[in-house]
Amino acid sequence: MLFRRRRALVCRQAVELMSDYVDGALAARDRARLEAHLAGCPHCTEYLAQIREVIAAAGRVEPDDLPPQALDDLVALYRRWSQG
């Protein structure tokens, strides 16, 4: 029991494991230690939720719109390239 307590994670260590945890890249032992910590730590649970939100939202970041002139310029270049 003493051994187990000594190996329990603190929050400062837990946040370093969140990204790999979300990606399923943690070793089984680290995953179990993190999940045990999360079960008793609402702050780290919130932190993990925010990391998940960052990832979900990143997948919705749209590139800047292409100005019509830029498209026309590239198509004009295409004509030159295909003739050259």
Binding interface with another protein (CB under 8 A): 10-13, 15-16, 18-20, 23, 25, 43-44, 46-47, 50-51, 53-66, 70-71, 74-75, 77-79, 81-82
Q: In 41-67, where does DSSP find H-type helix?
A: 42-58
Give me the least distance between CB of 7 and another protein, in Å please: 13
Minimal CA–CA distance to 38: which of 6, 9, 16? 9
Give me the least distance between CB of 63 and another protein, in Å please: 3
In the chain, what is the greatest distance between 2 CA atoms, to the nearest angstrom?
A: 77
Give me the least distance between CB of 32 and another protein, in Å please: 19
Place of tokens 């032992």: 29
